[in-house]
């Protein structure tokens, strides 16, 4: 994990009180007092209090980590250990989400940690990368035996038959699937993928964590069980 992440984390936390009127301890207490425990609900609650999605997601991760900083332990360990290789440079100015390998590793029967190909596709989402990672995490919860793969520009989802594919993009995330009778007004006819036929007939356009709700989960279950 890059120490650049830890530096950004420290800067973010140091500016909390000046920017929001509450320090980290204050926000941790406020989240606890809200009575919310589900990740999406906490992120949504924070967004209604003025946080951008990426920073709301970061605060939620810290709260889920018991109020401890996400990257503090990593830096401490790196300072104690001899450096084997140079840290990866970070070019994204948005607060980073946890490595999807960490997100998915918590599912007992979940998929193998994403490899470099999937990491590269997630990077295409730029500022929407935290939302793309949230989608992967939610799908892994809904379909515990899901497996992810990289196919051209798409992150495929199989269990074991392919049932959905995510196309990361900086303005919208497109989730392709066949929803069948579960389709709602939120689903649309699939658009082409880089001028090629889409892998499924329908899609969801996603750009907000609030869309990862119970209806989203119902659609994923329907697609996986067709």
Q: Which helix (H) or strand (E) holds 151?
A: strand 147-151
Which numeric CATH code is attached to 100-224?
3.90.1150
∠ Cα 138 4 212 (to 5°): 15
Look at residue 3 in the predicted model and tell me its pLDDT: 52
Look at residue 125 in the predicted model and tell me its pLDDT: 92
pLDDT tens per residue across all 226 residues of the chain: 445 677 888 888 999 888 888 899 999 989 988 888 888 889 889 888 888 888 888 888 888 888 888 776 544 444 444 444 444 444 444 444 444 444 343 333 344 445 788 999 999 999 899 999 999 999 999 998 899 999 889 999 999 899 999 999 999 999 999 999 989 899 999 999 988 899 999 999 999 988 899 999 999 999 998 7
- How many alpha carbons fall within 13 Å on the CB side of residue 87? 14
Q: Cα separations (Å) of 44 from 47, 159, 211, 219?
A: 5, 30, 10, 21
Q: Where are the domains of the chain?
A: 3-73, 100-224
Task: Name the residue with tokens 């001028």.
Answer: 195
**DSSP-based helix, strand, coil % in the chain, nearest 5:** 45, 15, 40
SS3 6: helix
SS3 154: strand
* Rounded Cα gap, residues 98 and 116, in angstroms: 15
């Amino acid at each position: 994990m890059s120490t650049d992440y830890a530096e950004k984390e420290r800067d973010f936390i140091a500016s909390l009180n000046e920017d929001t009127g509450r320090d980290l301890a204050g926000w941790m207490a406020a989240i606890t007092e809200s009575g919310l425990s589900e990740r999406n609900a906490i992120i949504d609650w924070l967004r209604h209090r003025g946080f951008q999605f990426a920073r709301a997601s970061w605060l939620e991760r810290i709260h889920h980590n018991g109020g401890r900083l996400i990257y503090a332990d990593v830096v401490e360990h790196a300072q104690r250990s001899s450096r084997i290789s140079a840290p990866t440079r970070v070019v994204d100015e948005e607060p980073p989400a946890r490595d999807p390998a960490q997100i998915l590793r918590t599912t007992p029967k979940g998929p193998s940690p994403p490899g470099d190909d999937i990491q590269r596709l997630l990077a295409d989402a730029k500022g929407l990368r935290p939302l793309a990672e949230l989608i992967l995490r939610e799908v892994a919860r809904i379909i515990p035996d899901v497996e992810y793969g990289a196919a051209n520009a798409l992150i495929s989802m199989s269990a074991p038959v392919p049932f959905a594919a995510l196309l990361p993009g900086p303005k919208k995330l497109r989730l392709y699937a066949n929803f069948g009778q579960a389709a709602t007004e939120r689903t649309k006819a699939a658009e082409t993928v880089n001028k090629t036929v889409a892998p499924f007939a329908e899609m969801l356009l996603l750009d907000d964590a609030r869309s990862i709700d119970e209806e989203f989960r119902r659609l994923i279950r329907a697609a996986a069980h067709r």
